[in-house]
């Protein structure tokens, strides 16, 4: 049992290390992780005579201060949970979920589109001239970005784990890579549906002071005219009285 667990731990460690960058932990290591869980369960679970089983499990798991087997198991479990790999996999963890496969397919298509259009523009391409990439790959990138945002919303609504705010690390890393290429390397921009309302609101706020001062100026001018008007009426009345007196 101990030898099997040691071999399983080594296999999972090697898989995690090889798939650290770019991150492909959940895609490539879920089989190793599932087998290691089974091996640890064989140690902790009652096998054969209960008293003999208990003594065997205790001698392997808790008979010393270091408790290496328990420590290794906890490390792998915490790493797997932090990566939120369950979010990428089917309920039985035997393979990737349909939504994950759909996302990864769009991700690979986006990278292929980038590469194809870069090759088509020649080796003397200016660092700031990626118009063909932006134009020809916009549809694929938009689909990928929309699907990622949809998966995020669905995950927030149905997530109950401590890491439910995140998608699995494979999907997050793939989206981060694509967004950096799209916005920073290729300097492409994705049209935003909120652009027009934002511009309208900003323009309205910008012109508010002008409207305020203009209305204040007109109001004060009108008030001044109203105040002056009675004096003119009074002076005209006095003039009429004087004319009647001397007529």
pLDDT tens figures, 100-109:
999 999 999 9
**Would you say 83 and 155 are in contact if contact means Cβ atoms under 8 Å apart?**
no
Whether the predicted pLDDT of 213 surpasses 70: no
Mean pLDDT computed over 137-158: 93
First to last CA, the chain: 135
DSSP 184: I
For residue 237, pLDDT beyond 70: no
**Dihedral (Cα; 184, 190, 196, 198), 10-degree rounding:** -40
Res. 165: pLDDT tops 80: no
Q: Tens digit of pLDDT for each residue in 16-64?
A: 999 999 999 999 999 999 999 999 888 887 554 455 555 666 767 767 7
Calpha distance 87→96 (Å, rounded): 9
Query: Please, are residues 138 and 109 in contact by the beta-carbon 8 Å criterion?
Result: no
Residue 218 is predicted with a pLDDT of 67
Asked whether the whole model's pTM tops 0.75, one would answer no
Distance CA(81)–CA(122), nearest Å, equals 44
DSSP 3-state of 90: coil
What's residue 230's pLDDT? Answer: 52
What CA–CA distance (Å, rounded) separates 169 from 96? 13
Contact 97, 168 (CB under 8 A): no
DSSP β-bridge partners for residue 89:
96
Do 132 and 121 form a contact (C-beta atoms < 8 A)?
yes
**Stretch among 4-13, 80-89, 229-238 having the lowest mean pLDDT:** 229-238
Cβ–Cβ under 8 Å, residues 26 and 97? no
């Amino acid at each position: 049992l101990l030898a099997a667990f040691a071999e399983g731990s080594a296999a999972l460690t090697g898989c995690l290390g090889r798939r650290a960058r770019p991150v492909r932990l959940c895609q490539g290591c879920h089989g190793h992780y599932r087998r290691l869980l089974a091996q640890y369960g064989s140690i902790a679970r009652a096998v054969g005579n209960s008293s003999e089983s208990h003594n065997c499990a205790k001698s392997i798991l808790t008979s010393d201060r270091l408790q290496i087997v328990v420590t290794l198991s906890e490390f792998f479990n915490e790493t797997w949970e932090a990566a939120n790999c369950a979010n990428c996999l089917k309920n039985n963890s035997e393979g990737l979920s349909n939504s994950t496969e759909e996302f990864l397919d769009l991700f690979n298509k986006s990278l292929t589109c980038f590469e194809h259009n870069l090759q088509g523009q020649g080796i003397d391409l200016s660092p700031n001239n990626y118009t063909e990439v932006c134009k020809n790959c916009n549809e694929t990138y938009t689909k990928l970005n929309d699907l990622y945002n949809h998966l995020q919303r669905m995950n927030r609504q149905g997530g109950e784990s401590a890491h439910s705010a995140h998608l699995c690390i494979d999907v997050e890393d793939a989206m981060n890579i694509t967004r950096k290429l799209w916005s920073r390397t290729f300097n492409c921009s994705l049209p935003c549906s909120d652009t027009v309302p934002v511009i309208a609101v900003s323009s309205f706020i910008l012109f508010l002071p002008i409207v305020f001062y203009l209305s204040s100026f007109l109001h004060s001018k009108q008030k001044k005219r109203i105040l002056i008007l009675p004096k003119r009426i009074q002076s005209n009345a006095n003039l009429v009285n004087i004319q009647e007196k001397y007529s």
